[in-house]
Amino acid sequence: MKITDQIIKSHGLKTQEFNDIKSLLKREPNFLELGIFSAMWNEHCSYKSSRTHLKRLYTKGKQVIQGPGENAGVIDIGDDDAIVFKIESHNHPSYIEPYQGAATGVGGILRDVFTMGARPIALLNSIHFGLPTHPKTKSLLNGVVSGIGGYGNCMGIPTVAGETKFDETYNENNLVNAMAVGLAKKNRIFYSKAKGINKSVVYVGSKTGRDGIHGASMASAEFDENTEDKKPTVQVGDPFTEKLLMEACLELMKDNSIISIQDMGAAGLTSSSVEMASKGSLGIELELEKVPCREENMTPYEMMLSESQERMLIILEDGKEKDAKKIFDKWDLDFMVIGRTTNTNNLTLKFNGKVEGEIPIEALASKAPIYDRKWIRKKVSKSKTDLKKLKKIKIENALIKILSSSNHSNKGWVTSQYDQTVMGDTVLKSGSDAAIIRIHNKEKAIAVSVDSSANYCKSHPVTGGKQVVCENWRNLISVGAKPLAITNCLNFGNPENEIIMGEFAECLEGIREACEFLSYPVVSGNVSFYNGTNKKNINPTPVIGGVGLINKLVKPLSHNLKKDKSVLILVGKSFGHLEQSCFLKENYSIASGMPPEINLLNEKNNGESVLKLIQNNLVLSCHDISSGGLIVALAEMAMSTNFGIKIQKPKKLTNLYEYFFSEDQSRYVLEVDPINLTKVEKILKDSNIYFENIGFTQKDLFEIEGELKINVKELFKINNEWYNKY
**Per-residue pLDDT tens digits for 24-66:** 999 999 999 999 999 999 998 999 999 999 999 999 999 999 9
**pLDDT surpassing 80 at residue 381:** no
**For 462-466, what is the mean pLDDT?**
97
Three-state DSSP class for residue 351: strand
**For 285-309, what is the mean pLDDT?**
95
Please report the pLDDT score of residue 219 as a whole number.
47
Q: Give the pLDDT band (50/70/90) at residue 386.
A: confident
| Cα distances (angstroms) measured from residue 301 to each of 210, 306, 708 | 10, 8, 67
Please report the pLDDT score of residue 234 as a whole number.
76
**pLDDT surpassing 80 at residue 223:** no
pLDDT tens-place string over residues 139-161:
999 999 999 999 999 999 999 99
- For the whole model, what pTM was predicted? 0.95
User: Cα(467)–Cα(511) distance, rounded to whole angstroms?
Assistant: 8
Please report the pLDDT score of residue 1 as a whole number.
73
**pLDDT surpassing 60 at residue 233:** no
Question: What residues act catalytically?
Answer: 44, 90
Phi, psi angle pair for 264, to nearest 5°: -90, 90
pLDDT tens-place string over residues 55-100:
999 999 999 999 999 999 999 999 999 999 999 999 999 999 999 9
Q: Give the pLDDT band (50/70/90) at residue 222.
A: low
**Contact by Cβ (8 Å): 471, 626:** yes
Please report the pLDDT score of residue 211 as a whole number.
83
Of the listed ranges 368-382, 488-502, 689-703, the least confidently predicted one is: 368-382
Q: Give the pLDDT band (50/70/90) at residue 653.
A: low
Please report the pLDDT score of residue 206 as a whole number.
95
Phi, psi angle pair for 5, to nearest 5°: -60, -35
- Interstrand relation of 701-704 and 643-647 (parallel, antiparallel or unpaired): parallel
**pLDDT surpassing 50 at residue 190:** yes
- Interstrand relation of 346-351 and 283-287 (parallel, antiparallel or unpaired): parallel
User: Cα(242)–Cα(103) distance, rounded to whole angstroms?
Assistant: 12
pLDDT tens-place string over residues 337-371:
999 999 999 999 999 999 999 999 999 999 999 99
Please report the pLDDT score of residue 169 as a whole number.
96
Please report the pLDDT score of residue 242 as a whole number.
97
Please report the pLDDT score of residue 385 as a whole number.
86
Higher-pLDDT residue of 722 and 679 is: 679
**Geometric angle at alpha carbon 471, from 81 and 71, rounded to 5°:** 40
**Cα–Cα nearest to 84, from 214, 201, 164, 181:** 181
| Strands of 621-624's sheet in order across | 621-624, 668-672, 567-571, 691-699, 643-647, 701-704, 708-711
Please report the pLDDT score of residue 240 as a whole number.
96
**pLDDT surpassing 90 at residue 224:** no
pLDDT tens-place string over residues 566-575:
999 999 999 9
Q: Give the pLDDT band (50/70/90) at residue 217.
A: very low
Of the listed ranges 89-93, 517-521, 653-657, the least confidently predicted one is: 653-657
Sequence-separated (6 or more) residues with CB below 8 Å from residue 548: 434, 446, 447, 448, 476, 477, 479, 481, 482, 483, 484
Q: Give the pLDDT band (50/70/90) at residue 596.
A: very high
Q: Give the pLDDT band (50/70/90) at residue 227.
A: very low
Higher-pLDDT residue of 126 and 381 is: 126
Three-state DSSP class for residue 615: helix
**pLDDT surpassing 70 at residue 228:** no
**For 310-329, what is the mean pLDDT?**
97
| Cα distances (angstroms) measured from residue 23 to each of 16, 19, 252 | 10, 6, 42
**For 587-597, what is the mean pLDDT?**
93
**For 581-589, what is the mean pLDDT?**
95
Of the listed ranges 81-85, 116-120, 124-128, 645-649, the least confidently predicted one is: 645-649
For residue 695, what are the β-bridge partners? Answer: 568, 647
User: Cα(274)–Cα(90) distance, rounded to whole angstroms?
Assistant: 22
Phi, psi angle pair for 9, to nearest 5°: -65, -40
| Strand stretches in 400-559, DSSP E | 426-428, 435-438, 445-452, 482-491, 522-528, 532-533, 536-537, 541-550
**Contact by Cβ (8 Å): 403, 718:** yes
**pLDDT surpassing 80 at residue 504:** yes
Mean pLDDT value across the chain: 94
Per-position b or e across 111-135, b if 16+ CB within 10 A of its CB: bbbbbbbbbbbbbbbbbbbbebeee
**For 415-423, what is the mean pLDDT?**
94
